[in-house]
Amino acid sequence: MAVRTILHYPDKRLRVKAEPVREVTPEIRALVDDMAETMYAAPGVGLAAPQIGVALRLFVIDVAPADGPSDLRVFVDPTIVAREGTTSWEEGCLSFPGIREDIERAERVTVRARDLDGNTFELTAEGLLAIAIQHENDHLDGKLMIDHVSLLKRRMMDRELRKRQATQQPRA
């Protein structure tokens, strides 16, 4: 297992639409281990493969309380098949360090995916788990948190993150 580098906005790889995971191989299992380790080290509650530069339809989520046991969930080739209601949630994103914004999403979702044994499952979620599923699923389609905010907030976030990136670039 290894902690991978998380891509930060405006990295263009975050906009790439992810490809299906055709088969759960030992390499995919190792990738999931790395993703979990990376997510926990960040720390975060979810991480999609595109956030570490791997354009595959795969994400991990663990919304268990910090003082509770792990509840790692793996979603291979997920599809949200139902959405109900609306809610607003203050979200953060590992690809947008230090940024938190109120994002409107479905209150309840049903997702169909495969697990690491290749078995298809369906899960209906609400609360933080529903938010995390929608957030990570967006990453698989190249959609980012910034796409859910007003034009004014989008410009402010973009400017702030580009300024941070410029000050972190090594000088030649």
The backbone torsions φ and ψ at residue 20, rounded to the nearest 5 degrees and listed phi first, read -60, 150
Using alpha carbons, select from 86, 33, 20 the residue that is nearest to residue 60.
Answer: 33
Please say if 27 is a catalytic residue.
no
85-102: buried (b, 16+ CB within 10 Å) or exposed (e) per residue? Answer: eeeebebebbbbeebebe
Residue among 23, 37, 84, 136 flagged as catalytic: 136
Using alpha carbons, select from 52, 105, 99 the residue that is nearest to residue 80.
Answer: 105
Cα–Cα distance, 14 to 132 (Å, whole number): 17
The backbone torsions φ and ψ at residue 49, rounded to the nearest 5 degrees and listed phi first, read -55, -40
Extended beta strands in 7-72, E state: 46-48, 58-61
Active site (catalytic) residues = 136
